[in-house]
Structure 1
Amino acid sequence: MATVIEQDSGLTLRHVSKRFSGDDAPPVLERIDLSIASGEFVSIVGASGCGKSTLLRLIAGLDADYDGEIDFGGARVVTTDLSRGIVFQDHRLFPWLDVEQNVAVALRNAPLSKAEKARAVKEHVALVGLQGYERHYPHQLSGGMAQRVAIARGLVNRPRLLLLDEPFGALDALTRARLQLELQRIWESERITMVLVTHDVEEAVLLSDRIVVMQARPGRIGEVIDVTLPRPRKLGDRGVGKLRDDIVETFFTDAI
């Protein structure tokens, strides 16, 4: 059964612009306006250099130097906090810690008892399908398994928003396909707000409620596409492939 979202997990960006200090080039981002509802899955796609990952860093609170407003759950985003989790392309696991310990790192500042932390870690290791691997170290895991640990670590604090920055970009095609389906299952179970940055248009179609297509120089929103295909979706579905092709054609049209 899907988790009921008790707190506002909506995200609103108003006129968000970003320029790196001393840079005479155009802004990295220019006047981004976007609203994401609680429990929605939104993907951001676009060519390299359009500012996708920069935008995700601003939403995460990793960079507070921007113009405009980023509002999450009724408060301006100015720094990181436990309500927003993030998963990167590089799993960033600590090699000297096992699976359980790597997940538990995210709970270091959580206001939970030792028993509550242990229970949360166990539940999230199970959520990503890694029962039996709790005592394994990163060098004993495949790339896909390591990314599962990273996803568990991103979720263990029960964030209201999970940000994913190309989380499957370094994986082989078969592992990536399996984890795409796994992420779809986790979202359907947890129903937290998710924002995914990806170069893979088909991945965006497979997972998203809406797809934000960004344009470059400066980074701005070109189009927002509703994905109304029934869930669960599978790679190879005719509707998934058609929408992917339509979006890719948009990229080529914009580039001319």
Structure 2
Amino acid sequence: MSDIDGFRNEVRDWLAEHCPEGARSGASGDTGDAMKQWRDTLIEQGWTVPMWPKEYGGGGLDRAQARVLAEELGRIRARPAFMGGMGTGMLGPTLLEYGTEEQKKRHLIPITRGETRWCQGYSEPGAGSDLAGLQTKAVDKGDHFLINGQKIWTSGAQFANRMFALVRTDPDAPKHEGISFVLLDMEQPGITVKPIRTIGGNSPFNEVFFDDAIAQKEDLVGELNQGWTVGKRLLQHERSGQGGLGGVGGTRQSPRSFALADTAKQYRGEKDGRIEDTAVRDR
């Protein structure tokens, strides 16, 4: 028996013992308790982000092992139990590559446990398709940056408690330079979120205004004025959809579909493992 076959047997035995029937597709009745138990079990096993290092809350699996895990979860039709959203799919892989050891320890474990809800501060009224033209300013104040400006089309900002953002730290540099990648607390006085109402009355997108908002220097990711490189790499992680379990489940939906569902659960609420907002769920 090969090592990977042995691992598959271990995964099957583990799932048989730990995945409750109420956390599998087709389960009837109130499955809320089963889903909570399943989510907590996956978190403790590190399998919400199986390929992240164990020291940061992951499972420490290699690619072949993660593929086996995905196949076995699909075989028993296990419901995706973790709503990592932008944390697991975008920011986490970026921090693993560009973050300091302190940043990884401080931010990655809360992401794996679903304790932080992240949103993306990229687009601006005058910098959408030409993102490098962004004008939100971050002024160096010693141990922190003072941020003023505006972001737009920010998904889930009204529910997020953290943001990763591109800001201009050198207004005199060429537009692709002088940009830095920072992390900041959304629950501070200097940030105002205004939902953008659609014709259907929903508001998945928002405007975010910064009025002397603060990003701590310790939350500068990568080098000062080199955030364009970090920001582009994050978008590559977004497109790959390989941050966490993502598309694992028992259906034929694509990993992208499951990633969208995870994000919707995080920002629109969840009930019994499903998107709570029926208007969003039925789309």
TM-score range (shorter-chain normalised) is: under 0.3
Normalised by the size of structure 2, how large is the TM-score?
A: 0.25
Rg (Cα) greater in structure: 2
More helix by share: 2
